[in-house]
A and B are shown apart, each in its own frame.
Chain A
């Protein structure tokens, strides 16, 4: 980390694309797209379901291999690495998920220790980092509890501690608050903002929730049809007037599956009351 100058972007996606065919035979994924995220930024990716947000995020740590283009994280071109080189690089790219993905048969402390055990850290170092990170997310007293006994918000905190434990350059967050209620969401956004401030970790976050992006992000990329169609600076939670995002906000109140302009049947029935609750909380 110290070897990379501050001017090197944390994340640079150059002409990446990734195509899938959905069960209906339509094409989804990411079309040739560029994205540059400077070090220390919290960058949001927002868009409707099927816009390619999660795919774009998963290209960053190569959980999805791009069909074309280059993925460069902290100056290192991941697309050119060997399998073991990629594993090394992934040690410094944290990730959190919508459904937390904790190990149920391991205690909270063991979960947080996992990425460092995988990276081959010493037992002493692991112990120190586990304590530090659990303290950071406010769950120090839950170290010996199993995740099954935690609330959704607590589970995501454990996941954040786990992601931060190996001191990553970059934290990827895939809809981290979408399974949580509005109050818990706000608490969690504070934790992420603190992580960015205290540790300088760059955060790339995917969400369909307007409020999440507005509260947390410095900058946002708006995706539609597999492309980034707009990039905006968000100063103090204000969406620039005249932007596509501002018009979406005016039309739908929120950007979510329920508000999709071309919803499929199943998506159209999914209610999104908490988006509106968040809007109200903010007003």
Chain B
């Protein structure tokens, strides 16, 4: 069996490399989009929540909170299929890693917005108030207080996001999204090649472990409390 596994590994090496590359591409795209758009959205939802500096925009808070909940209610595979016309407009196709990145980015954006909003709640109100008393604008509060004080929590939030969407990207394989999940389905599932299944799972475990380890290491280094 181990020899068998090794043979398969050598035989499928180009496929495995390609799949890993596709997975990393999907992750890179959806994490970048989520970091920028989801991050901004999460910060805005936090700032407009009760007791914070932009509390007066309560309407925005209620609407955005609702939208985040709605998007997060969708099982990912349904979202993937439901928005495929939109995906075709953006990516020009509904197949392949680039196309899969569209629904991944949307799901990741709203997921991350919620993570960020909750992470920022850990910043003590008194510290934000001290900055307000100094005459800080909302943008300065974000830059000089929230992102500084919550930074290790933010790194952990990104870690959770990366791990979750590594497995979401595997789901994208179902609709021909490419990546490690696609490989597992095409060889491991449809062709009953258990050894391929084992290889892909080991690969995914290794990826998750390294992301988690790196995130925790960085978060610990950044926390000076």
Q: Say whether A associates with B.
A: yes
Which A residues are in CB contact (< 8 Å) with B135? 86-91, 115, 118-119
Within 8 Å of chain B (Cβ to Cβ): is A146? yes
Contact B127 A105 (CB under 8 A): no
What 1/0 flags go to B111-140 for Cβ under 8 Å of A? Answer: 000000000000010110111111111001
A218, CB-defined interface residue at 8 Å:
no
Contact with A along B165-200 (1 / 0, CB 8 A): 000000000000000000000000000000000000
Interface residues of A in 98-128 (CB under 8 A from B): 99, 101-106, 114-115, 117-119
Q: Is the CB of A118 within 8 A of B133?
A: no
Whether A114 lies near B225 (C-beta < 8 A) is no
In the bound complex, how far is the Cα of B127 from the Cα of A102, in angstroms? 6
Q: Which of A143-166 touch B at CB < 8 Å?
A: 146, 148, 166
Using known A-B contacts A90-B135, A95-B133, determine if residue A118 contacts B224 with beta carbons closer than 8 Å.
no
Interface: A61 (CB within 8 A): yes
B88 within 8 A of A: no
> Contacts A104-B224, A105-B224, A146-B224: A90 and B148 contacting too (C-beta < 8 A)?
no
Which residues does chain A contribute within 8 Å of B131, judged by CB atoms?
114, 118
Residue of A nearest to B133 (CB): A95
CB of A97 within 8 A of CB of B130, answer yes
**A172: chain B residues within 8 A (beta carbon):** 133
Majority-rule SS of B interface residues = helix
Closest to A86 in B: B135
A63 at the interface (CB under 8 A from B): yes
Question: CB of B22 within 8 A of chain A?
Answer: no
A166 CB contacts on chain B under 8 angstroms: 134
A118 x B126 contact (CB < 8 A): no
**Cross-chain contact A114 with B127 (CB below 8 angstroms):** no
Least Cβ–Cβ distance between B127 and chain A, in angstroms: 5
A93 at the B interface (CB under 8 A): yes
Cα A58 to Cα B130 with chains together (Å): 11
CA distance A61 to B223 in the complex (A): 32
Q: Which chain B residues border A63 with CB–CB below 8 Å?
A: 129, 132-133
How far apart sit A105 and B225, CA to CA, in the bound complex (Å)? Answer: 6
CA distance A117 to B141 in the complex (A): 12
A93 cross-chain contacts in B, Cβ below 8 A: 133
B157 to nearest A CB, angstroms? 16
Within 8 A of A (CB), among B132-163: 132-137, 140, 144-145, 148-149, 151-152
Verify if B222 is at the interface (C-beta below 8 Å from A): yes
> Contact at A90–B133, with CB atoms within 8 Å?
yes
Q: How far apart sit A146 and B144, CA to CA, in the bound complex (Å)?
A: 16
Which residues of chain A come closer than 8 Å to B136, judged between CB atoms?
Answer: 87, 118
Q: Are B144 and A114 in contact (CB under 8 A)?
A: yes
Smallest Cβ-Cβ distance to A102: which chain B residue: B127
Q: Which of B127, B131, B135 has the most A CB atoms < 10 Å from its CB?
A: B135
Please, which residues of chain B bring their CB within 8 A of the CB of A99?
A: 126
Query: Which residues of B sit under 8 angstroms from A101, Cβ to Cβ?
Result: 124, 126-127, 129-130
Q: Which residue on B lies nearest to A114, using beta carbons?
A: B144
> How far, in Å, is B224 (CB) from chain A's closest CB?
4
- Write the chain A residue with the least CB distance to B130: A101
Q: Give 22 pairs: A residue, B residue, CB < 8 Å, sorted on A.
A: A63-B133, A86-B135, A87-B136, A90-B132, A90-B133, A90-B135, A91-B135, A95-B133, A97-B130, A101-B127, A103-B127, A103-B149, A105-B151, A105-B152, A105-B225, A106-B224, A114-B131, A114-B134, A118-B131, A118-B134, A118-B144, A119-B134
Q: A90-B132, A95-B133 are in contact. List 6 more A-B contacts (CB 8 A).
A: A61-B133, A101-B127, A114-B131, A118-B134, A119-B135, A172-B133
Residues of B that sit less than 8 Å from A by CB:
124, 126-127, 129-137, 140, 144-145, 148-149, 151-152, 222-225
